[in-house]
Amino acid sequence: MVLAELGSKITRALATMKNSTVLDEQVIDDMLKEIQRALLESDVNVRMVLSLRENVKKKISADDAGGYNKRKLVQQAVFSELKRLVDPGHKPYQPKRKQTNVIMFVGLQGAGKTTTVTKYALYYQKKGWKTGVVCADTFRAGAYDQLKQNATKAKLKFYGDYTETDPVLIAAGGVEHFKKEGCELIIVDTSGRHKQEASLLDEMEQVAKTIKPDDIVFVMDSSIGQAAQAQADAFQKKVEVGSVIMTKFDGHAKGGGALSAVAATGAPIIFLGTGEHFDDLEVFSAQSFVSRLLGFGDVEGLVDKIKSAGIDSQSDLYKRFTEGDFTLRDMYEHLQNVIKLGPMGKFMDMLPGLPQGMMKGKEKESTQHLKVFMTMMDSMTDFELDHGQVKKVMNPSRINRIARGSGRSVAEVNDLLKAYTKFEEMVKKVGKMRFKQMAKDPSAMMRGNQMAQLAKAIDPNVLKQMGGYGGLQNMMKQFSASGLDKML
């Protein structure tokens, strides 16, 4: 995540404040200065940064709490003000099922609008919506071909006219065409434009008046930082922008400035584009965003991700998991579920206590590694996959056969078996601790030696990054508060 550096700086400032022996005015001022510096480096507007500082100080001075309570109050005040920076306070338009929703996309040239149209349509199509995309961009050469190719790859319905030069006619024809086909979501892609191009802005206004969209989505390149506000304001004057999608959020340090600038216009941000692939589109929530930024994780987002991936927490696999039973077939099914959750880095960023960007640059390698494991397990017999004592079963003859059958080396098969052994040990420890009951009652971890057992089941380096026993306990509490316990 591109804002990992910003998050780590703010987190360090808060940690220094929390660890201070005496929490006086100087300590709080030093913390706020560090946060200010981090925000300014992320291109957040100076006035907004100063406003954040003043509001935090007002909230602190309004409460006379001392010691631990004051430290908690300061942390809550910072969290609240950071959330206010990126949250305009308005709810975006929510498409409604079993009726036609016309969504018009507008934005600057080069912001990634056409690709975002495909991502947006695919996001809803995966949820069972009947969607269609319309190419009304007659200004940019290649726009028709790009959207048509994207639609074909994503298996989306497409409408366009290669010979028509009037975008208003194309947009109207496309909307009418998909209405007849019973599409619930009709997305119209328009020409990219700049706030100084009056003729293109007028054209956009005419398209909007003709098709009467339910929502106008403004696609904004996050790399322009706080300049996003001027562009968004210019578009607002011509058409009623209902929501915003920020693109290229995975590759620039000015994302924080762009987010706060767009939020200042009053238009809610609905998605963040985090990569070039069609699946690289994240639902934006101010609460979750700031929570992840500060290392608190996003357990609610994690629960939603598990549900949207279609992972059944009541399957036999997870029942056996909570009982401490684990075979190679269970490991195969578990790896399938992990891959369903998407890039490993995004999944790890949602876990409370872990630093943002922990897996940055390793996501592709990690996923490929899991697929290699699955390929080797595909070469195993049912007897090998289902046997409860893998160490006894896997003799050199079987290992050589699996290596030849999967096209991998003997050393790689041994690496798989070592990984399985570690996983099996962890599952048995967690099973003995009655993980389901612990998730429902986090305080149970502090009774007896259950907390120590759980800590031993986690890689020491990961445990250290989580903040040791305290971070682990906090994670369990957040799991319980989010309703994850109900999924177990």
- Residues 214-249: pLDDT tens digits? 999 999 888 887 777 777 777 878 888 888 898 887
**Residue 282 contacts by C-beta under 8 Å, 6 or more apart in sequence?**
271, 272, 274, 346
For the segment 317-327, the average pLDDT, to the nearest whole number, is: 68
**Residue 80 contacts by C-beta under 8 Å, 6 or more apart in sequence?**
59
Q: Which of 27-31, 32-36, 181-185, 350-354 has the lowest mean pLDDT?
A: 350-354
Q: CB burial class (10 A; 0-12, 13-18, 19+) of residue 390?
A: middle
**CB atoms < 10 A from the CB of 41, how many?**
15
User: What would you measure as the largest C-alpha separation in the chain, in angstroms?
Assistant: 76
For the segment 67-78, the average pLDDT, to the nearest whole number, is: 78
Instruction: Report the distance separating Cα 249 and Cα 334, nearest Å.
Output: 30
Strand partners, 105: 189, 217
Instruction: Report the distance separating Cα 370 and Cα 375, nearest Å.
Output: 9
For the segment 55-63, the average pLDDT, to the nearest whole number, is: 79
Instruction: Report the distance separating Cα 428 and Cα 305, nearest Å.
Output: 26
- Cα–chain center distance at 13: 25
Instruction: Report the distance separating Cα 351 and Cα 488, nearest Å.
Output: 17
Residue 129's pLDDT is 94
289 pLDDT tier (thresholds 50, 70, 90): confident
- Token pair of 43 as six digits: 């291109």
Strand order of the β-sheet with 281-283 is: 157-159, 131-136, 185-190, 101-107, 215-221, 243-247, 269-273, 281-283
403 pLDDT tier (thresholds 50, 70, 90): very high
- 172-227 pLDDT tens trace: 999 999 999 999 999 999 988 765 567 777 888 899 999 999 999 999 888 887 77
Question: Which residue, among 104, 129, 130, 127, has the nearest Cα to 117 in the 3D structure?
Answer: 104
Instruction: Report the distance separating Cα 138 and Cα 73, nearest Å.
Output: 54
Instruction: Report the distance separating Cα 113 and Cα 105, nearest Å.
Output: 7
Question: Which residue, among 449, 210, 187, 430, has the nearest Cα to 323 in the 3D structure?
Answer: 430
The string of DSSP codes covering 188-207 is: EEE----TT-HHHHHHHHHH
Residue 1's pLDDT is 43
464 pLDDT tier (thresholds 50, 70, 90): low
**Residue 372 contacts by C-beta under 8 Å, 6 or more apart in sequence?**
408, 412
Residue 217's pLDDT is 93
Residue 294's pLDDT is 77
- 104-158 pLDDT tens trace: 999 888 888 999 999 999 999 988 999 999 999 988 888 899 999 999 999 999 9
Q: What is the DSSP letter of 487?
A: G
- Cα–chain center distance at 12: 23
Residue 42's pLDDT is 80
List of E strands, 69-200: 101-107, 131-136, 157-159, 185-190
**CB atoms < 10 A from the CB of 99, how many?**
9
Residue 360's pLDDT is 58
Residue pair 222/256 in contact by the 8 Å Cβ criterion: no
- 415-458 pLDDT tens trace: 999 888 887 877 776 555 554 454 445 445 445 455 565 556 55
Q: Which of 237-251, 291-305, 310-324 has the lowest mean pLDDT?
A: 310-324
409 pLDDT tier (thresholds 50, 70, 90): very high
488 pLDDT tier (thresholds 50, 70, 90): very low
pTM recorded for the entire structure: 0.71
Where do we find the tokens 């200065």?
Answer: 33
- pLDDT of 460 above 70: no
Start-to-end CA distance of the chain, whole Å, equals 29
Residue pair 31/17 in contact by the 8 Å Cβ criterion: yes
